[in-house]
Amino acid sequence: MASLTTLKLTNRSPKQPIKKLPPTIDLPANATVEDVKKLIAKQAGFSDHNRIGLFYTSTRKTLKDRRAVIAEDKDVAEAGEVLVKDLGVQIAWRTVFVVEYLGPILIHGAAVAARPYLLKDPSMSPTQWLSFGMIVAHFAKRELETLFVHKFSANTMPARNIFKNSFFYWAISGALCAWSIYYSPWSLAARANDPIVDAVGTALYLFGEISNALVHLYLSTLRSTGGTERKIPHGYGFSLVTCPNYMYEVLAWVGIITASRDWSVALFITIGAIQMFIWAKGKERAYRKEFGDKYKKKRFVMLPGLL
């Protein structure tokens, strides 16, 4: 397999072909998937090699591991060919996450700051302030993790995704939750007067947020900077579910729901939990496929006894 020196290139989308795609490229010794993308981009006239997508000819699935040596991939070596597609304008994963999480921080801050100009009584109840602090602190934590903790296996994603992803956070956890908690005439947080409920919500929130942060810090140690390798995670919460970071994330939001008493917060995390469950199922399948008997299979991927 290591003798692969020339790779045939075929457009994956004949209706939207890469016009200057070379029919073949010569492979340097130990060329990786990312090296191949750079070679193709250079010859095809692309300034960003991340726009180049490589796919297997047999399954048409993407070559995900950008650091894998192309000649050592059995399917590619046997075919001597890959399919190539222009993935469109790309944007860094880190940038997308920063923009996503910035929305709720700005919107909740603006909503609270605007109360004196929009309401006759601009004062907020202690529970409204507690809800505000919880939500802003949650997304501030997310921003810090994005900038300093998370390591991404892929460099970029299609730029159009930033609009879809940001809408969920800006519109629901941002605008909808801010209106419902601080402005809605039906806001339970505005009328709340039960410190015990606030305390229970705060305890759940703090435990969930701290635990989520600990799992994220641990996961960041399992991958080198810019690396794509995967290791079997162990320890805090991993004996219970595949993705304890999602479990603790949900728990933190249950704390916010408890404190805010707000339906919009429940709606936001319900939608988010559905997506996290899909991701967690995918991770469980990936662990089983990659590690086989070395991996202790999990019955529940996100919430013990439920999901």
Pairing state of beta strands 81-86 and 6-11? parallel
What six digits make up the tokens of 159? 């730029």
Mark residue 261 as left, alpha or beta (left: phi above 0; alpha: psi -120 to 50; beta: remaining).
Answer: left
Calculate the average pLDDT of the chain. 95
Residue pair 37/198 in contact by the 8 Å Cβ criterion: no
- Cα–Cα distance between 159 and 163 in angstroms, integer? 8
pLDDT tens-digit readout, 240-298: 999 999 999 999 999 999 999 999 999 999 999 999 999 999 999 999 999 999 999 99
Alpha-carbon distances of 3 from 29, 57, 72, 143, 239, rounded to whole Å = 9, 19, 9, 45, 43
Residue pair 78/72 in contact by the 8 Å Cβ criterion: no
| Domains in the chain: ranges and CATH | 6-88 (3.10.20.90), 91-294 (no CATH)
Query: What residues does 7 pair with on adjacent strands?
Result: 25
Residue pair 96/157 in contact by the 8 Å Cβ criterion: yes
pLDDT tens-digit readout, 113-158: 999 999 999 999 999 999 999 999 999 999 999 999 999 878 899 9
Residue 1, pLDDT score: 45
Residue pair 295/231 in contact by the 8 Å Cβ criterion: no
Residue 195 burial (C-beta neighbours within 10 Å; 0-12, 13-18, 19+): exposed
Output DSSP code: residue 62: B
Three-state DSSP at 135 gives helix
Three-state DSSP at 280 gives helix
What six digits make up the tokens of 89? 């304008």
pLDDT tens-digit readout, 290-303: 999 999 999 999 99
- Count of other CB atoms within 10 angstroms of residue 170: 20
What six digits make up the tokens of 76? 């590619």
pLDDT tens-digit readout, 193-219: 999 999 999 999 999 999 999 999 999
Residue 228, pLDDT score: 72
Residue pair 169/244 in contact by the 8 Å Cβ criterion: no
- Cα–Cα distance between 203 and 254 in angstroms, integer? 10
- Count of other CB atoms within 10 angstroms of residue 1: 12
State the DSSP H helix or E strand holding residue 79, giving kind and residue range, or none if neither: helix 74-79
pTM for the structure as a whole: 0.91
Residue pair 107/113 in contact by the 8 Å Cβ criterion: no
What is the distance between the terminal CA atoms of the chain, rounded to a whole angstrom? 42
The one-letter amino acid code at 71 reads: A
- Cα–Cα distance between 222 and 153 in angstroms, integer? 12
pLDDT tens-digit readout, 68-126: 999 999 999 999 999 999 999 999 999 999 999 999 999 999 999 999 999 999 999 99
The one-letter amino acid code at 55 reads: F
- Cα–Cα distance between 236 and 238 in angstroms, integer? 6
What six digits make up the tokens of 290? 């990659």
Residue pair 250/273 in contact by the 8 Å Cβ criterion: yes
Identify the residue whose tokens are 């936001």. Answer: 268
